[in-house]
Structure 1
Amino acid sequence: MNKLLVVSPSPHVHSGDSTPRLMYNVVLALIPALAVTLFYFGLGALIVTAISIVSCLVFEFLIQKYLLKVKPSISDGSALVTGLILAFNLPSNLPWWIVVIGALVAIGVGKLSFGGLGRNPFNPALVGRVFLLISFPVQMTSWPLPIESRMSYIDAVTGATPLAVVKEGLSKGELMSSIVDQIPSHMQLFMGAMGGSLGEIAAFALLIGFAWMLITKVITWHIPVSIFATIGIFTGILWLINPEANADPIFHLITGGVMLGAIFMATDYVTSPMHPKGMWIFGIGIGVITVVIRVWGAYPEGISFAILIMNAFVPLINRYLKPSRFGEEVKRNG
């Protein structure tokens, strides 16, 4: 009787998942988009991505070890994912020191100031991105052109994004029928032939990553599909009402950060709802806010702001839409 049997409270269920497995599957899902990004932007994309990832890993290690006095958790892959997604939100000609500042804000403010992984209310990479956009608007909106900028870093050839071209043209009273001649075709946009941040130019590659995460059950379809559907329906209605004053829904879906935001940032476990119904509400809210900012706001893009705003509503959504407790009896009619 000298051996004690220790029994933990129920439920005795384990899914087999772990934080490293989930995070590294996200990294694998981003590899196709990273390959396309490196093809289009070359040296600049490589430098920005490397600096972002290394900075996030270093800041997480230093802050946890020397400020929070806890065991560093850089091996779980979360800082790696934050660094990679932050890089995807930046232009390939961004000065290295601005990238480092963005990583510090993402990890130090967006994540660790709230207690670390699992406690942060806002997506860390988006916190870093929005901070840089507000603090360094010129550098953050100087978009290198693909192909022409492959061998350059700071001195890359820059130009406006398709969203910016449409926004500026419509504000000047131009018609969409004349603006479309100034931007690439839908197929070119889908394949990535446009200026923008690293993650805005690879819609087809991001969809490959989406399929991988669905197959490996890293995420569910609810949030991305609800965002795509909301943006498509909202912009489709506007386009049907006046096609000369509004871009078509396909254009809105394959340009800007919609694909990256819907698939890789809005689906963050910590900052998104737990219940499928809550995910739908969350996704619809992101879609509506994104379109409102794009069509009537000051910025040509709005997905980052939309996700952060809806992140703030997640605790409220979770409060009223909770998954059933394990073992709880569900009442059935009849």
Structure 2
Amino acid sequence: MSTIDEVAKLANVSKTTVSRVINRHTTVKEKNRQKVLAAMEELNFKPNSFAQALASSRSNSIGMLVGSLGGPFYGVLMHQAEIELRRENIHLITSSGQESEEIERDGIRFLQSKMVDGMIIHSDTLHDDELIGIVKRHPKTVILNRNIPEITEHCLFLDNELGGYLATKYLIDTGHKQIGCLTGQLSKADSRDRLFGYRKALSEAGMPYNPSLVVEGRFDSETPIDAGKRLFERDLDVDAVFCQNDQLALSMYTIAAGFGKVVGQDISIIGFDNDHYTKHLQPSLTTMHYPLQDMAMLAVDKVLAMVNGDKIYPSDMLKPWVVERNSVNTQNKA
């Protein structure tokens, strides 16, 4: 295994210069930096990451807590964050909360134990007060999908209320009268905000809110088919369903078929997230686009600004939009 002395000798520079190149000091002349990098490549020299962290107070890693390590939503979020970090020669370390307060806390403690330079947290269960405390103790932290006024510059979130409103308005504008809503877990702020947007669109259109048209499901793959079935079993002449994510919408395809209904003709369905598979469904799913890749890129930009001591800005709010496909009957469009 090559040593820093061998790199310095081959590059004809001091060990201090090699150390500064490894730790990306801006004071190194570009000519010397290139010489050191060439020598490291020729000798296949790999810096000891732990020693590097001790020397520079940097681990060149960012920690990320998500709800789950599976599924299209978190998969896209983690994948894009890793792409952005790798461009900066920084590694991503991930942990999941599994909808448990204690597991989320343990995941955050695990990330901190790895000496990460900063954290990106997507919490499903921790209350705002606890997240405020985490940010105060570890200020190089970005909070996803939560807008907390006391730490607004650390927050990055989607306008979920707008998403619920636009999805429902689209169904109203295409002539639907009995619009059901299949929610995610109402313990989640995302679900509540999307439901509020649904109610807002109905109110704006002069349509009464009927709680019998709302059924609580789950955002993950454990969604019971029974949740969606209840909309049809209540015999409310439902002609459209706003599903609060695409996995819920996918379950509604199966339910509709079981009741002899053709999606896009007898029953209209709109989803939320624009997961990669939705355009391949038959019929292809009309859905709300969730700019997940943008969220991941902005989260990385924000956390690296914190790590590097650059200026950070107030909360960023991303906006969803309707992706029109074929699962909504538009024959009666206004």
- Give the TM-score category using the shorter length: under 0.3
Give TM-score scaled by structure 1 length: 0.26
Query: Highest CA radius of gyration, 1 or 2?
Result: 2
- Structure having the higher strand fraction is 2
Structure 2 length as normaliser, TM-score? 0.26
